[in-house]
Amino acid sequence: MSDLVSRSRADGVRDDLGEPVPLPGPACRIVSLVPSLTEAFAVTVPERLVGATDWCTHPAGLDVPRLRGTKNPDRAAIAALEPDLVVCNREENRRLDVDRLRAAGIAVWVTVIESVDEALASMRRLFAEALRVPEPGWLTIAAAEWARPVPAPALRCAVPVWRDPWMVVGPRTFTGDVLARLGLVNAFGEGEDRYPHVSVDDVLAARPDVVLLPDEPYVFTAGDGPEAFPGVRSVLVSGRALTWYGPSLATARADLLGALGDR
């Protein structure tokens, strides 16, 4: 057992924000309001997952009660499931819902993930301290995959995540760190806005070598997206590989490099 885990149990379990999480024992009834983490629980401890959002699409055929979306969870339905832990994410879920769940006496663990390293560390703590299970094999594989050397030379890229209005991946994001570890330079990686609103002209003016078009949250396709950037190479990629940080991390690096033509 690591010193961090030993101290956490001695001082009381705390989430990524440092907030105390009242867990007298291992979390055995889990509600996940984060699609990436829903998949992580369903793959690793399926018998403990008792509820998820409508957006939790993996693994295929997941059969648990659905609790609306990440931004509007059905708190009454969550309480009715009598979970001993609800798992949220600072970016994906609202502080209002976290506060009201806690006020109702429900233990909530909030993750904070803006990089691959944070994803690996956060999930390791979650499994070790809240669930008290060994590190899953997919997490060990993911750590090894993302420890590989960064490919070179660097390509300049833009990554739209929405259309009408156009939005792109900006600085201090998990996806931005994934791009850097693939040897890509985010054309919108500077500034204050983590997901800036832009125009097509803004994207073209940034002079990207390639535009990556994921299939979520906006579903870009061969006929919806590439035509907006004439003269620039567009590559359709898996949104799950680019933005999720559960079991998909074990294969995401290879999948994305493959989509890019192994650089």
* pLDDT band with cut points at 50, 70 and 90 for residue 153: confident
**Residue 25: which domain range?**
3-135
Pairing of strands 85-89, 30-32: parallel
Decide if 260 contacts 151 (C-beta within 8 A): no
131 and 13: one domain? yes
* pLDDT band with cut points at 50, 70 and 90 for residue 52: very high
228 and 112: one domain? no
Residue 145 lies in a domain: no
Residue 176 lies in a domain: yes
Cβ neighbours of residue 173 under 8 Å, at least 6 residues apart?
114, 194, 195
168 and 65: one domain? no
107 and 172: one domain? no
67 and 182: one domain? no
Residue 148 lies in a domain: no
170 and 121: one domain? no
Q: Report H helices in 147-248.
A: 174-181, 200-205, 239-243
Decide if 28 contacts 50 (C-beta within 8 A): no
| Lookup result for tokens 């009242």 | 22
215 and 254: one domain? yes
106 and 183: one domain? no
**Could you give the 3-state DSSP secondary structure of residue 193?**
coil
User: Residue 259's closest CA among 143, 155, 142?
Assistant: 155
Residue where one domain finishes, among candidates 67, 100, 135: 135
| Lookup result for tokens 């890509």 | 184
**Could you give the 3-state DSSP secondary structure of residue 204?**
helix
82 and 172: one domain? no
User: Is there a cis peptide before residue 26, judged by omega within 30 degrees of 0?
Assistant: no
**Could you give the 3-state DSSP secondary structure of residue 212?**
strand
If one counts the domains in the chain, the total is 2
Compute the average pLDDT of residues 91-102: 96
Is residue 189 predicted with pLDDT exceeding 60?
yes
Residue where one domain finishes, among candidates 135, 163, 198: 135
Residue where one domain finishes, among candidates 135, 167, 186: 135
CA gap 229, 19 in Å, rounded: 45
Residue 140 lies in a domain: no
* pLDDT band with cut points at 50, 70 and 90 for residue 152: confident
Residue 108 lies in a domain: yes
Q: Which helix (H) or strand (E) holds 152?
A: none
100 and 166: one domain? no
For residue range 195-230, list pLDDT tens digits in order.
999 999 999 999 999 999 999 999 999 999 999 999
* pLDDT band with cut points at 50, 70 and 90 for residue 144: very high
Is residue 103 predicted with pLDDT exceeding 80?
yes
Residue 250 lies in a domain: yes
CATH of the domain at 15: 3.40.50.1980
Beta bridge partners of 225: none
Residue 244 lies in a domain: yes
10 and 62: one domain? yes
Is residue 58 predicted with pLDDT exceeding 60?
yes
251 and 162: one domain? yes
Compute the average pLDDT of residues 46-63: 95
Residue 147 lies in a domain: no
Q: Which residues of 79-115 are buried (b: 16+ CB within 10 A; e: fewer)?
A: eebebbbbbbbbebbeeebbeebbeeebbbbbbebbb
* pLDDT band with cut points at 50, 70 and 90 for residue 262: low
How many C-beta neighbours within 10 Å does residue 131 have?
20
User: Residue 204's closest CA among 166, 165, 172, 258?
Assistant: 166
The percent of residues above 90 in pLDDT, for the chain, comes to 92
